[in-house]
A and B are shown apart, each in its own frame.
Chain A
Amino acid sequence: SQQGEEDPQALSIQEGENATMNCSYKTSINNLQWYRQNSGRGLVHLILIRSNEREKHSGRLRVTLDTSKKSSSLLITASRAADTASYFCATEGNTPLVFGKGTRLSVIA
């Protein structure tokens, strides 16, 4: 499987700081998506970046994609306590979405 691997596994920051999470994958993809999961709940789609795009913004989210390095990053600016959650990257190629193991983000008020 072309599983994405998130880094770091866990991240703890103060409210107002920026949070950066990285995702690396192994094979060519059509797009890469980021999802968020609040504790004990289902995943919610945040943002999708296509393989021919390099950067995408949505509100306080900024995603970059470097297909030559097979990596992506998710930046959350001006973090809030409500951003505390797990964040997963998911890659789409010729198979169903393949999810990474996630980054656990804790934002301390």
Chain B
Amino acid sequence: DVKVTQSSRYLVKRTGEKVFLECVQDMDHENMFWYRQDPGLGLRLIYFSYDVKMKEKGDIPEGYSVSREKKERFSLILESASTNQTSMYLCASSFPPSEYTDTQYFGPGTRLTVL
């Protein structure tokens, strides 16, 4: 079974802190994604990566950066956390689309609270 793990289930940080959220997948997937999920807004794509050292902006990249130094690991960085970044953060991974299928496998999520 594909396993996607995230470094923390719950995290509480203070405004202005630098926050690292880590995601690791064990299935040699090429693609990795970071989403945030907020009530009434659904899942919104922050950043994604199709290969090591590659990154692409999603729909809401402002205030975030990412790092992908190894294939299995994709980190989301909040350079200076703000209260409006309080959210559930979900990581996902997938193989490259083949025959137009891009099924994503999700981690359990990190609920981040910024005070």
Contacts and interface: CB of A to CB of B under 8 A. Distances in A.
Nearest to A52: B100
A96 B45 contact: yes
Interface residues of A, number: 25
A42 B43 contact: no
B58 A96 contact: yes
Interface residues of B, number: 26
A99 B43 contact: yes
A92 B48 contact: no
Max chain A C-beta neighbours (<10 A), residue from B43, B106, B111: B43
A54 interface: no
Contacts of B101: 31, 48, 50, 92
Given A40-B109, A43-B106, A31 B42 contact: no
A33 B111 contact: no
A102 B42 contact: yes
Contacts of B59: 1
Contact of B90 (A30, A43, A102): A43
Interface string A67-109: 0000000000000000000001010100011111110000000
Contact of A101 (B4, B40, B100, B108): B40
Sort A-B residue pairs by CB-CB distance and give the 10 closest, nearest first: A42-B106, A101-B42, A30-B100, A99-B43, A43-B106, A42-B108, A45-B103, A42-B109, A42-B107, A92-B102
Interface of B: 4, 33, 35, 40-43, 45, 48, 58-59, 88, 90, 92, 97, 100-109, 111
Interface of A: 1, 3, 30-31, 33, 35, 40-45, 48, 50-51, 88, 90, 92, 96-102
18 contacts: A3-B42, A30-B97, A30-B100, A40-B109, A42-B106, A42-B107, A43-B90, A43-B106, A44-B106, A45-B104, A45-B105, A51-B100, A88-B43, A90-B104, A92-B97, A92-B101, A96-B48, A99-B42
